[in-house]
Structure 1
Amino acid sequence: MARKIKIPNEHLKRFAREEQKRKKDIRNKRKYYLIVCEGEATEPNYFEGLKQDLPKGVLTAYQIDIAGTGRNTQSLIDEAFRLQTVYEKSTTQKIDRLWVVCDKDNFSAQDFNGAIQRCHTSDVGCAWSNEAFELWYLLHFQYYENAMSRRVYKDMIENHLKPLLDEDFRYEKNSEQMYALLKEHGNLQDAIRNANRLAGRFEGRQDYANHNPCTMVWMLVEELLKLKQ
């Protein structure tokens, strides 16, 4: 029978202290992302899917929190700053990167343009879409550059997915499955290229309300994907 080796108590205590310090150091070195979304479900569900798809090592090195607010334009920016303050006080950690995700929808050009400009001057990432977030979904399948209303997005998404899934497929705005469906049946790198190409059509212009179609969601997605490097 093998003889049990007794580890001195002071060694165990030292190991415990070192392990506690190591875990504290890891927590202190973590980078903190806060993504504040206009929608309460559609955008948060998509980014939660993307987050969970990142390697475990990324989620150890980076804290990524996603909040759905139901706010829009200027009130969304106000809420993002409020949440930043709340999170930093409760965690005693600085938020390294703050992003907002918003849509043009039917908001006035003044409100939409003003919110984006405010983000730019405040060093806040702004993943805006004109007219709506679902444009990002469509770009996984095809490049579009003709102006379109968000009212047609649902039918267009269904037209892309029905042949791949089932003729009975119906797009549900708050679906928790869209990230997985797009990953399996769409092409994320094509979506990034298509969105980047669209953005290039309006380069240098600050009349964001007139950039239709256009989405900057690709910039946030690309930034999160680069965390794997």
Structure 2
Amino acid sequence: MRRKDKEAEQARKREQTKQELKRTIATKEQIPDIIIACEDEASAPTYFKALIGQLRESRKITPDSFVIAKHTNTHPTGILEDLKKHRCKFSGKSYKDFKHKWIVIDRDKEHVNGGGHSPEDFNSALAQAKSLKVDVAYSNDAFELWYLLHFNPRETAILRDELLTQVIEKLQARNESKFGQLDKDTIKQATFTKLIFDELQALQETAIKNAERLMASYEVAHNPENDNPSTTDSTCISEIVK
């Protein structure tokens, strides 16, 4: 190879290496490093897994850059413990090694016939998470508030039973063939959660705006334990999809 041709080839390879490095850096910048622990075993984890799957298909995340911690507890402080106990069996990463750390919980006030969480447990989870620099995606009263905000703003209190009724009615009105069998028992099942995720993707920006409007309405006096409705699920989801 003549000297000029050799120099040209070396210059071409240097430029190729430079471009590959830029692509690698750009890819790394768009990959969120996030770990999430969820309160329930079906709806929230299934929703976030569907979101993960979508981002993997578009190559915006890698398999180990987005993790849902193993579920062993059902109360807010227990969910934080689930997060703290996480350790990846392949990389050895603990929750501390992730840039973004979230727990996803409901306020779910105690019920007369059992179930729900005490205000002390909910508030303790918020305080402990803050001290550990863990973000909290909470809903008062339930995760399904996030679904409702895809359809319309909501700034007045709503009981869980009415919340589920409204969400089911709106989903059935939007797609009767898909959600005709949806009810208050099946809405948290993984199968329906995946269908809901797919159906509401086109309305995600609307939901984020409605959630931001809702939270802004409380200004500085916001009390997560007491303020119904309220949710920061949108903040977590925005961070993932940004």
TM-score scaled by length of structure 2: 0.73
CA RMSD of aligned residues (A): 2.6
Instruction: Say yes or no: does 1:100 pair with 2:103.
Output: yes
Q: Cα deviation per residue 1:2-48 (whole Å; 9 max; x = unaligned)?
A: xxxxxxxxxxxxxxxxxxxx9xx99xx77632110010111000001
Match of 1:71 in 2: 74
Match of 2:122 in 1: 112
Match of 2:58 in 1: 56
Match of 1:184 in 2: 199
Q: 1:136 aligns with which of 133, 143, 146?
A: 146
Q: Which runs of 5+ in 1 are unaligned?
A: 1-21
Q: Using the TM superposition, name which of 205-214 and 127-136 deviates more.
A: 205-214
Q: Cα deviation per residue 1:38-64 (whole Å; 9 max; x = unaligned)?
A: 101110000011111125321238611
Match of 1:12 in 2: none
Instruction: Say yes or no: does 1:43 pair with 2:44.
Output: yes
Q: Cα deviation per residue 1:80-107 (whole Å; 9 max; x = unaligned)?
A: 1111xx23x7513422221100001022
Instruction: Say yes or no: does 1:164 pair with 2:174.
Output: yes
- Please report how far the alpha carbon of residue 155 of structure 1 lies from its aligned counterpart in structure 2 after TM superposition: 1.1
Looking at structure 1, the residues matched to 73 and 131 of structure 2 have their Cα atoms a distance apart, in angstroms, of 23
- Classify 1:70/1:116 alpha carbon distance in 2 versus 1 (closer, same or farther; 3 Å): same
- Please report how far the alpha carbon of residue 183 of structure 1 lies from its aligned counterpart in structure 2 after TM superposition: 4.2
- Classify 1:35/1:75 alpha carbon distance in 2 versus 1 (closer, same or farther; 3 Å): same
Instruction: Say yes or no: does 1:153 pair with 2:145.
Output: no
Say if 1:140 and 1:188, in contact at 8 Å, map to a contact too. yes
Looking at structure 2, the residues matched to 59 and 132 of structure 1 have their Cα atoms a distance apart, in angstroms, of 28
% identical equivalent positions? 30
Match of 2:3 in 1: none
Say if 1:135 and 1:153, in contact at 8 Å, map to a contact too. yes
Q: Which runs of 5+ in 2 are unaligned?
A: 1-20, 110-116
Match of 2:190 in 1: 175
Say if 1:112 and 1:209, in contact at 8 Å, map to a contact too. yes
Question: What amino acid does structure 2 have at the position aligned with 1:122?
Answer: L
Say if 2:75 and 2:121, in contact at 8 Å, map to a contact too. no
- Please report how far the alpha carbon of residue 179 of structure 1 lies from its aligned counterpart in structure 2 after TM superposition: 4.6
- Classify 1:182/1:142 alpha carbon distance in 2 versus 1 (closer, same or farther; 3 Å): farther
Aligned length: 198
Say if 2:147 and 2:167, in contact at 8 Å, map to a contact too. yes
Say if 1:37 and 1:44, in contact at 8 Å, map to a contact too. yes
Match of 1:225 in 2: 241
Match of 1:15 in 2: none
SS in 1 for 2:102: strand
Question: What amino acid does structure 1 have at the position aligned with 2:52?
Answer: K
- Please report how far the alpha carbon of residue 188 of structure 1 lies from its aligned counterpart in structure 2 after TM superposition: 0.5
Question: What amino acid does structure 2 have at the position aligned with 1:52?
Answer: G
Say if 2:73 and 2:82, in contact at 8 Å, map to a contact too. no
Say if 1:158 and 1:169, in contact at 8 Å, map to a contact too. no
